[in-house]
Chain A
Amino acid sequence: MLHEQELRIFVEGTTNFFEVAAQQPATLGSPYLAEVPPPLHEYTGVINVSGKREGVVYFTAPKAMLAVLLMKMQETDFSHDTMRDLVGEVANTISGNARRDFGGDFLISVPSVISGEAAAIAPKAGARSFIIPIHWRSHSAKLVVSLG
């Protein structure tokens, strides 16, 4: 079960990512508990978590948002593969940064990426999904933290 203080770690990690990598802060909505997993956007970067905590952390975003994010990062390749690369890197960065507080027993996988039409990601048994809404420029994305 994720505590409020732990959820704040991911909120701060997301805030920091947009401030530094995109050089433009995002506005984060109030995190909320999802009874059912949320629908995914076009691209989703998934990090499996094991060790001290079990579950998944994923960042799901629309293609239009990722394209602008790539531009802000001075990237010139807007291909499907680069979009996949970016969502994986965002999920990896936010999850990896969380080890500052969770410690080295918070083990994270290399990112896997879901793109195109896909079902929602089912939470692991015993884990509840907290959704952190992310608003950046005119786009919206979500960070989903589902840890037991």
Chain B
Amino acid sequence: MIRAQRTPSPADAGRRVYRLLIVDDSNIVRRRIERSQHFEDLQVVGTAGNGLDALEVFAATDPDVVTMDLTMPRMDGIECIGRMVELKPSVRILVISALADKATAVEAMERGANGFLNKPFSDRQLNEAIAELMRGA
């Protein structure tokens, strides 16, 4: 599943609009993140359901921030994080995963992730994590 959206319109000029890519193999989770994030200066520019598709959307949309699942078919999130950081070292990546062990979080951070949010998550937890991510973007 790949979806890429338009770039910010000229109406957005004058203030920075952060570009968000959502990567998760669950449609429900992708829609939940898109629906629940409440930032006016954050625009969803694409979604993907696995790591390989995510790299295509990443190249096409040039996001500033990414939410990344880990357990996905075709290419998992850990490998995808490494590839994205190689392509764009300034990208900010929030891992959103059910994998709750410390070793996984450490590995994701070592590959270049900037934050880690465990599933299941509340809207408040999601928005706090995204706000933290955007502060560094």
Task: List the interface of chain A (C-beta within 8 A of B).
Answer: 16-17, 20-21, 23, 70, 73-75, 77, 81-82, 85-86, 88-89, 92-100, 102-104, 106, 108-110
Contact B101 A100 (CB under 8 A): yes
Q: In the complex, which residue of chain B has the Cβ closest to the Cβ of A70?
A: B28
Contact B99 A99 (CB under 8 A): yes
Q: How large is the interface on B (under 10, 10 to 19, 20 to 34, 35 or more residues)?
A: 20 to 34
Contact A86 B99 (CB under 8 A): no
Task: Give min CB distance, A15 to chain B, whole Å.
Answer: 11
A43-B101 Cα distance, complex, nearest whole Å: 28
A-B CB pair tally, cutoff 8 Å = 68
Task: Give min CB distance, A19 to chain B, whole Å.
Answer: 8
With a cutoff of 8 Å between Cβ atoms, the chain A residues found around residue B71 in the complex are 92, 96, 108-110
Contact B28 A104 (CB under 8 A): no
- Would you mind naming 16 contact pairs between A and B with Cβ atoms under 8 Å apart? A21-B120, A73-B28, A75-B32, A81-B27, A82-B28, A85-B28, A89-B26, A96-B98, A96-B119, A97-B100, A99-B101, A100-B101, A103-B103, A104-B104, A108-B99, A110-B72
Contact A73 B32 (CB under 8 A): yes
Task: Give min CB distance, B118 to chain A, whole Å.
Answer: 7
With a cutoff of 8 Å between Cβ atoms, the chain A residues found around residue B118 in the complex are 97
A100-B98 Cα distance, complex, nearest whole Å: 10
With a cutoff of 8 Å between Cβ atoms, the chain A residues found around residue B73 in the complex are 110
With a cutoff of 8 Å between Cβ atoms, the chain A residues found around residue B119 in the complex are 93, 96-97
Contact B120 A104 (CB under 8 A): no
Closest 3 CB pairs of A and B: A96-B98, A100-B100, A99-B101
Contact A97 B98 (CB under 8 A): yes
Residue interface mask B87-109, A partner, CB < 8 A = 1: 00000000001111101100000
Task: Give min CB distance, B119 to chain A, whole Å.
Answer: 5
A20-B121, A20-B122 known; A103 and B101 CB under 8 Å? yes
A86-B25 Cα distance, complex, nearest whole Å: 11
Contact B103 A92 (CB under 8 A): no
Task: Give min CB distance, B36 to chain A, whole Å.
Answer: 8
Task: Give min CB distance, B23 to chain A, whole Å.
Answer: 14
Q: A20-B120, A97-B98, A97-B119 are in contact. List 5 more A-B contacts (CB 8 A).
A: A73-B28, A77-B27, A81-B27, A82-B28, A96-B119
